[in-house]
Structure 1
Amino acid sequence: MKAVSECYPCLCRLVHQAAALATDDEELKAEAIREGLRVIDENFSADVTTIAIATEIHQIVKEITANPDPYRGVKDEEIRISRELISEVSPAYPQDFKGYLALSALGNVIDFFRDFDTIRGDMRGKVEFLIDDSDKFKRKLEKATNVLLLADNSGEVFFDLPLVKWMARSARVTYVVKESPVQDDTTLDDLRIAGIEGELDRVITTGTATPGVLLHLASDEFKREFAAADLILAKGMGYYEALSEFPSDGRILYCLMAKCQPVADSIGVPLNSYVAMLR
């Protein structure tokens, strides 16, 4: 998904947020903001993905502030809230594939641009997929032997775990996280902090610190696994923005809440809709 005009102010907001989280030093913060905005002005185009621009923004903010994980505090709070809410909300969902998929989608309510009170409120709502290809995906899953789940935000792992365990009854499921910190995306350290590292049979990383994934930057291991997977369950808008650039091959299920208007428009749903879309 290429950048559209509405993405420009959102990227500017990202610069200010990342810099504010990265340092309390006003001079460093001002430099990080100045350089981050320069990245946007030099790269923003209808021919470029927002993922590519955001990746460069985060890299330069981390370099200037010497903070490798600006969103650490945000991620810790997301993990805490998710651990607290999962036992409260999970009984509302059937203990089957469709129920576990909806529960996983509920975790995608988490977003670093949303305040925690809004997140708590939305998590107590019921997931109804406006686009629902879950039955098609399940039929494919019955014949699959190798499945990737591309994880999104740090707190979502609690909501993903029941789905991972259900799918693992018939296929090898690999949980994919980020190699190093970017935004509030899940890393191996976050799995350890969440205390559920040992509950996932197989975990690899993308080899990158990019929102979503930029395949040309990804590790050889990830590219091999991605190419060999029978099915891929891609969580969140970042993976949709990145992978929708490639031709559809019928094996990627995008599972997300469309939390921004450009993504919602690209998919063809109203803002804040849940989708389970097979492409």
Structure 2
Amino acid sequence: MQITDRCFDCLLTRIEYECRIASDNDSVINEIVDVCKKELTKALSEKLPSPEISSRIHRTACEMVGNTDPYKEIKETTNNEAELFLSEIEERLVTFRDCALACVIANTLDYGSKEHKVTDDFVGFFTGEFEKGFSHDDTDEIEKLCRRVVYLCDNCGEIVFDKKFIEHLKNNGSHVTVVVKSRPIINDATIKDALFLEIDKIADNLYENTSGVSELGLNMNLIPEEVEDAINSATLIISKGMANYESLSEYKKTLKLPPVAYLMMVKCEPIADNIQIPKGSRIAYLAR
């Protein structure tokens, strides 16, 4: 999926938000937003997957504000809260569909989308959403493809529920390669988060999405060789969240990729229009 002018306001609002975490200097923040707006306008003509442009804008903002990880404390708090949440609802997670749905509901623990608000009562919210189930449910077909899985993680907090799902996959015979962010970018889970949660002790492989670049989604021009090899030998990619969807939905037009299972909450209208599923939907969507 390529970026559109409808993405401008959301992205620039997120830029201002992360700058205000790191600084209370209005003139500095306004300058950063102005620079990012100009850079974003120039980038529209480049016809790149949306996360590649968004990543560039976020890197510019973090460099200018002098903080490479403004979400650090928010991410730590979100992970801690998610572990408490999981302990309260874990006994409900028995089947493949249960674990997948829990991960999608946990995708709401996201401070990176303007059109989405994080709930103050996650356990209550989870209970209601879990009872509703998926809005679009391809889990029966997805489960059949889980012999060799590349699992693309998304946000902090959510990664705690990813760990539970990965455990389920491993316990049922899947070979699982997990891919997380190499360096901090917004509230996405990094290699440090994955190691702290000991995902390396569960998955067959734990890899970074780049060789040291802060990058949203999956940039096929920046992935390390081991990630490329894992994708080429996979029977399924499990793609968590909207940025991974934006990346892979664009690459699947031109590259030979294995089937992709998109697990996410549809949090904004541009994504909803692109995938043709209403905003607010909980989806397990298989793209062959």
**1:116 offset after TM fit, Å?**
4.5
Q: Which amino acid aligns with 1:41?
A: T
Counterparts of residues 1-279 of structure 1 (less than 5 Å): 1-45=1-45, 47-93=47-93, 95-112=94-111, 113=113, 114-117=117-120, 122-127=125-130, 128-141=133-146, 144=147, 146-169=148-171, 170-193=173-196, 195-197=197-199, 199-201=201-203, 202-207=205-210, 208-247=213-252, 251-279=259-287
State the number of aligned residues. 274
**Gapped runs of 5+ residues in structure 2?**
none
**Gapped runs of 5+ residues in structure 1?**
none
Runs (4+) of structure 1 moved beyond 4 Å?
118-121
Question: For 2:187, what is the secondary structure of its paired residue?
Answer: coil
Aligned partners of 2:119 and 2:125 also within 8 Å: no
Give the superposed CA RMSD.
Answer: 2.2
For residues 145 and 260 of structure 2, the distance between their equivalents in structure 1, rounded to whole angstroms, comes to 11
**1:237 offset after TM fit, Å?**
0.6
Question: For 1:275, what is the secondary structure of its paired residue?
Answer: strand
Task: Report percent identity of matched pairs.
Answer: 26
Q: TM-score, normalised by structure 2?
A: 0.87
**1:7 offset after TM fit, Å?**
1.1
Q: TM-score, normalised by structure 1?
A: 0.89
1:160-217 CA-partner distances (Å, limit 9, x unpaired): 1222112113122111100000111111212344x43454333111114211111112
Q: Which amino acid aligns with 1:205?
A: E
Question: For 1:218, what is the secondary structure of its paired residue?
Answer: coil
**1:91 offset after TM fit, Å?**
3.1
1:95-139 CA-partner distances (Å, limit 9, x unpaired): 121111111212111111434527565334224212211111112
For residues 223 and 130 of structure 1, the distance between their equivalents in structure 2, rounded to whole angstroms, comes to 32
For residues 249 and 149 of structure 2, the distance between their equivalents in structure 1, rounded to whole angstroms, comes to 19
For residues 222 and 25 of structure 1, the distance between their equivalents in structure 2, rounded to whole angstroms, comes to 40
For residues 167 and 140 of structure 1, the distance between their equivalents in structure 2, rounded to whole angstroms, comes to 11
Question: For 2:125, what is the secondary structure of its paired residue?
Answer: helix
**1:26 offset after TM fit, Å?**
4.1
For residues 159 and 261 of structure 1, the distance between their equivalents in structure 2, rounded to whole angstroms, comes to 26
Question: For 1:174, what is the secondary structure of its paired residue?
Answer: strand
Aligned partners of 2:237 and 2:258 also within 8 Å: no
**1:25 offset after TM fit, Å?**
4.1
